[in-house]
Amino acid sequence: MTSKLVLDNIAGRTTAGSIAVVAESNSTTTNLQQGLAKSWCNHTTASSFVNNDSFNVGSLTDAGAGSCKINFSNIFINDDYSTSGLQLVGAGQLGLNAQETTYTWIVSYNTSNTSEDSPESTMTAHGDLA
């Protein structure tokens, strides 16, 4: 028999903003809020500057060759959040140029280590929202 739970809101019993979920091993728990990506983006900087799809991204700023400033819709509580990203295979590497509570700034490099636009780049950020 399948069940369906329909809710608009979930809150912790002892702390409204903290919900523990039993992990795969059934012996530990993980915090639901801490485990969620707070922002992600898939964008193109080559030939056009386009946000293909995203979550918690208000806008992108073209900051020159290979350089993209990703502006958050909802800001982080501090600039100590964690980001990760990739760019399309064939390019060199993706680097973090700056990280603030309101945005993160990434730069894609070619195999000669020169900043260059990428046909596709991705970014994910984990941390605490303000």
Identify the residue whose tokens are 């894609």. 108
Residue 92 pLDDT greater than 90, yes or no: no
In tens, the pLDDT along 18-38 reads: 788 887 888 888 777 877 899
Residue 88 contacts by C-beta under 8 Å, 6 or more apart in sequence? 118, 119, 120, 121
Which segments of the chain does DSSP mark as H helices, in order?
32-35
Amino acid at 77: I
Q: Poorest-confidence range of 12-16, 33-37, 69-73, 109-113?
A: 12-16
pTM listed for this prediction: 0.82
